[in-house]
Amino acid sequence: MRKKIFATLLLGSIIAPVTQAATEQDDVEVITVTGDQSLVQMRSAVKKKRLEFFEAYNDINTDKYFDMLCEYRSKAGSNIKRIECEPRYVRLIRSEKIQDSFQGMAINAAMLPNDSDLEPYLRSEHEKAEAHMAKLIEENPELTNKWNDLLITVYRYESQKALEKDEE
């Protein structure tokens, strides 16, 4: 959930101006291109481009507080591992809040903070992280290229997904 929120915030802040400009031009001819890839292949390409972007971002980023940490995890009751990415500051704040919940009481897993409990603490950090990432994207051509590749791949996937949904 937390990675979706961060990705949505990050992608939404950059894609919104592009979509606004596109809707303002009603007289533009639209050309639809359909590819040879399935949705599964396109989703896989999005994941690959996302990881490539995060790797390039981490290489350029000097403030390790904002690094994106990715690892394979399986959900409880499943052996299927999926890649999950989150900023280092999310892990740090989560561990701090978990330690706070242990102070002066017995360990009770039901009372541990979940991701929704962390949202008030993370809101301002997300804004700082987005500003930091946007600055690095603007200043580094290699990172700009990776970001643009990711945006194009996401756009293609979402367009094809919407097209297939409309055909149903």
Whether this model's pTM surpasses 0.95: no
pLDDT digits (tens, 9 = 90+) for 89-125: 999 988 888 777 666 555 555 566 677 778 888 898 9
Q: Provide long-range contacts, Cβ within 8 A and 24+ apart, for 158-163.
A: 160/34, 160/35, 160/37, 160/39, 160/42, 161/39, 161/42, 163/32, 163/34
DSSP 81: E
Given this model, what pLDDT does residue 35 score? 59
Output the average pLDDT for the chain.
81
CA angle 43, 46, 51 (to 5 degrees): 130
Q: For 160, how many CA atoms within 13 A lie in the half-sphere containing its CB? A: 18
Given this model, what pLDDT does residue 4 score? 47
User: pLDDT category, 1, cuts 50, 70, 90?
Assistant: very low
